[in-house]
């Protein structure tokens, strides 16, 4: 209660930032028990923030026109005032880098430091998905490697060839992810070393004579049974980029390396897309706790606290479905509400909560429960586990079932009542499940005996087929990398073929 004000008014300087950080850290460690990566706070301008937007928030990235396209688009809408900029960007790396905008007031900087440097940071360091799929220590080094490597490739093989390969790889990026952990964790730093070592070895072991030696009779492919062939190729394989990198017959080594880079980066972002609600919920909950504590301790004046509350309220605002501002669930709103709801259940449960959440209701140790939740769930499992009836009533959630076959209209399938709670919760949780969101496309076979034709299959779920134009374009890219024909069949759950695509390769600059 004897705390001095951290700052007066809206101005801040670097010592102020340091004081703010120390005050937040004190609360985060002693009161919330957070466990974070070391922080690095970087102050940037609006222009730099726009730059960061366009390289998916990363401080360094290889060069590609598509980032320029986003930049042009975003710059245009920013200038027209259609879009505000985020207050911060935080990067899952160690040290954890948070970018703060220079225009923020001192209160906003406090909010942002509490939110990003402690909330997100703790989540990055502790959530199982991030632990499993990302290597916070290695990512910046890897990006540095990727950037230089792409630049070197451009020098050696020409910009056009590199651009075409990257275009194709980007088109397949969403299908360049391992959804299930393999035998060992990917370690980006080791990967980079291995990549270097592989290239060195190839260079040192290169002998042009080998090329001239006759290779002997080719093994009769017919002897390999189809099953054995598929097993050898690791089929079916849903990581298309991985499959191409390992087996595409005519890719140059540097092209494989580029596919690998794109694949690794897609993998790095994979946990983020699965934990939007939790990640933002955690960060918002943490900043809310820290700001309140600072205010209680007198380190934040009443005026500054009101400023904070105003922007906090904006952030966690959830418009109704019929509002013109509605664009789906706001992850900040839903996440924050759920975290607060868990706090309520743990400290002050009602009978309903005891029935629904016997494990945590009335347990008393809010932070212990929350830290456990933050570490062990993703959006889908988090919602299906912890969305309480009370919260469904609060948001007045209802479930719409839109079946095109139903001519009468869209059916209200369930609402926030006793009969509907579980169905609403299941449906909401499912809408955050990447397994349902992404199209299920697999490489199923290669006609090795014949024309090396690559076969893919899309298992259609709920009748949602691929967008025709886009599918053709992506397949074209795929065929260019594979350099032989590629086909894709869309199959429904009964095995009926709904549609078939075939793409023929074009000559790429790199191959020519």
Partner 1 sequence: MVAIHIVDRRLNPGSKSLENRQRFLRRAKALVQQAVKKTSHDRDIKDVLEGGEVSIPLDGMDEPRFRREGGTRDMILPGNKKFIEGDILPRSGGSGGRAGGAGEGDSEDAFRFVLSREEFVDLFLDDLELPDLAKRKLAEVESEGIRRAGYATSGSPANISIPRTVSRAMARRVALRRPKPEEIAALEAELLICGHEARRAELLAEIEALKAKAKRIPFIDPIDIRYRRFETTPKPIAQAVMFCLMDVSGSMTEHMKDLAKRFYTLLYVFLKRRYRHVEIVFIRHTDRAEEVDEDTFFHGPASGGTLVSSALQEMHEIVRSRFRPADWNIYAAQASDGDNSTSDGEVAGRLLTEKILPVSQFFAYLEVGQDAGLTFEMPDSSLWTLYERLRLAGAPLSMRKVCERSEIFPVFHDLFQRRVRQERAP
Binding to partner 1 (CB under 8 A) within 78-97 occurs at 79, 95
In terms of CB distance, is 15 or 450 closer to partner 1? 15
The contact mask relative to partner 1 for 11-30 (x = CB under 8 A, - = no) is ---x--xx--x---x-----
| DSSP string for 17-44 | HHHHHHHHHHHHHHTS----PPEEEEEE
Piece of the chain touching partner 1 by CB under 8 A; list 138-146, 206-214, 299-307, 419-427: 419-427
**Helical axes 331-347 vs 379-386, angle rounded to 10°:** 40
How far is the first Cα of the chain from the last one, in angstroms, to the nearest whole number? Answer: 74
Closest separation in Å from C-beta 217 to partner 1 = 41
State which of residues 140, 460, 481, 510 lies at the interface with partner 1 (CB under 8 A): 460
355 interacts with partner 1 by CB under 8 A: no
| Contact residues for 413 (Cβ-Cβ < 8 A; gap 6+) | 399, 400, 401, 420, 423, 427
- CB proximity list for 152: less than 8 A, separation 6 or greater: none
Nearest residue (CB) to partner 1, 128 versus 436: 436
The strand pair at 440-446 and 96-101 is best described as unpaired
φ, ψ of residue 91 to 5 degrees: the values are -115, 135
Query: What is the phi/psi pair of residue 41, to 5°?
Result: -110, 125
Cβ proximity to partner 1, 39 vs 366, nearer residue: 39
- Closer Cβ to partner 1, 1 or 405, answer by number: 405
Pair type for strands 88-91 and 440-446: unpaired
Residue 454 pairs in a beta bridge with: 446, 486
Q: How far is the CB of 283 from partner 1 (least distance, A)?
A: 18
Nearest-approach distance from CB 345 to partner 1, in angstroms: 20
Cα-trace Rg, the chain: 26
Q: Which stretch binds partner 1 (CB under 8 A): 85-93, 267-275, 364-372, 405-413?
A: 405-413
Q: Which is nearer to partner 1, 225 or 407 (CB)?
A: 407
For residue 344, the number of C-alpha atoms closer than 13 Å in the C-beta half-sphere is 15
Report the C-alpha gap between 44 and 63 in whole angstroms.
Answer: 21
Shortest Å, Cβ 45 to partner 1:
5
Considering only residues 112 through 171, tell me which ones interact with partner 1, judged by CB under 8 A.
Answer: 163, 167, 170-171
Q: What is the nearest approach in angstroms of partner 1 to the Cβ of residue 63?
A: 5
What mask of x and - would describe binding to partner 1 in positions 437 to 456, judged by CB under 8 A? --x-x---------------
- Under rule CB under 8 A, residue 235 binds partner 1: no
How many residues does this entry show for the chain? Answer: 512
Residues 470-489 interacting with partner 1 (rule: CB under 8 A) = 470-471, 473-474, 477
Q: Which of residues 27-86 bind partner 1 (CB under 8 A)?
A: 36, 38-45, 47-48, 50-51, 54-55, 63-73, 75-76, 79
Q: 40 or 487, CB closer to partner 1?
A: 40
Residues in region 181-220 near partner 1 by CB under 8 A? none
Residue 196 vs 323, nearer CB to partner 1: 323
- How many residues bind to partner 1 according to rule CB under 8 A? 100
Which C-beta is closer to partner 1: that of 25 or that of 257? 25
Shortest Cβ 108–partner 1 spacing (Å): 16
Cβ contact 383:277 at 8 Å: yes
Q: Which of residues 280-309 bind partner 1 (CB under 8 A)?
A: none
What is the phi/psi pair of residue 169, to 5°? -65, -40
Strand partners, 440: 459
Of 54 and 360, CB closest to partner 1: 54
CB of 16 to partner 1, least distance (A): 10
d(CA 145, CA 150): 8
Q: Which two tokens stand for residue 495?
A: 């095995």
CB of 159 to partner 1, least distance (A): 8
To the nearest 10°, report the CA torsion of 284, 288, 289, 295: 160
């Amino acid at each position: 209660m004897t705390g001095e004000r951290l700052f007066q008014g809206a101005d801040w300087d670097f010592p102020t930032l340091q004081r703010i950080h120390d005050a937040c850290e004190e609360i985060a460690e002693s009161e919330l028990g957070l466990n974070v990566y070391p922080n690095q706070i970087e102050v940037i301008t609006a222009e730099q923030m726009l730059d960061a937007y366009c390289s998916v928030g990363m401080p360094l990235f290889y060069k590609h026109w598509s980032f320029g396209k986003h930049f042009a688009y975003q710059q245009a809408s920013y200038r027209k005032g259609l879009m505000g900029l985020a207050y911060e960007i935080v990067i899952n790396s160690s040290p954890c880098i948070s970018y703060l905008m220079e225009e923020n007031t001192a209160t906003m900087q406090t909010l942002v430091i509490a939110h990003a440097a402690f909330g997100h940071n703790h989540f990055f360091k502790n959530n199982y998905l991030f632990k499993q799929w990302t290597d916070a220590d290695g990512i910046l080094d890897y990006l540095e490697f990727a950037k230089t490597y792409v630049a070197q490739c451009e020098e050696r093989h020409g910009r056009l060839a590199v651009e075409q390969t990257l275009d194709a790889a980007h088109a397949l990026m969403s299908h360049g992810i391992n959804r299930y952990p393999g035998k060992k964790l990917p370690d980006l730093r080791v990967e980079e070393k291995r990549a270097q070592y592989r290239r060195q070895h190839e260079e040192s072991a290169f002998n042009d004579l080998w090329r001239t030696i006759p290779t002997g009779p080719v093994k009769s492919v017919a002897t390999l049974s189809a099953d054995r062939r598929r097993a050898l190729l690791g089929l079916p394989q849903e990581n298309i980029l991985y499959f191409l990198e390992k087996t595409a017959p005519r890719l140059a080594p540097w092209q494989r390396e580029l596919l690998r880079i794109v694949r690794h980066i897609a993998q790095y972002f994979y946990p983020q897309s699965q934990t939007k609600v939790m990640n933002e919920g955690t960060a918002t909950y943490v900043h809310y706790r820290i700001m309140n504590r600072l205010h209680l301790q007198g380190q934040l004046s009443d005026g500054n606290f009101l400023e904070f509350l105003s922007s906090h309220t904006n952030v966690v605002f959830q418009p109704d479905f019929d509002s013109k501002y509605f664009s789906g669930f706001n992850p900040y709103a839903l996440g924050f509400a759920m975290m607060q709801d868990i706090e309520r259940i743990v400290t002050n449960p009602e009978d309903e909560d005891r029935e629904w959440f016997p494990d945590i209701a009335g347990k008393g140790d809010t932070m212990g429960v929350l830290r456990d939740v933050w570490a062990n769930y993703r959006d889908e499992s988090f919602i299906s586990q912890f969305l309480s009836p009370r919260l469904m009533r609060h948001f007045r959630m209802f479930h719409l079932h839109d079946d095109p076959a139903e001519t009468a209209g869209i059916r209200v399938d369930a609402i926030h009542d006793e009969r509907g709670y579980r169905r609403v919760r299941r449906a909401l949780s499912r809408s955050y499940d990447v397994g349902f969101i992404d199209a299920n496309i697999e490489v199923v076979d290669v006609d090795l005996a014949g024309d090396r034709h690559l076969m893919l299959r899309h298992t259609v779920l709920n009748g949602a087929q691929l967008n025709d134009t886009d599918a053709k374009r992506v397949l074209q890219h795929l065929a260019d990398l594979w350099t032989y024909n590629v086909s894709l069949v869309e199959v429904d759950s009964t095995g009926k073929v709904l549609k078939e695509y075939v793409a023929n390769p074009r000559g790429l600059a790199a191959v020519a």
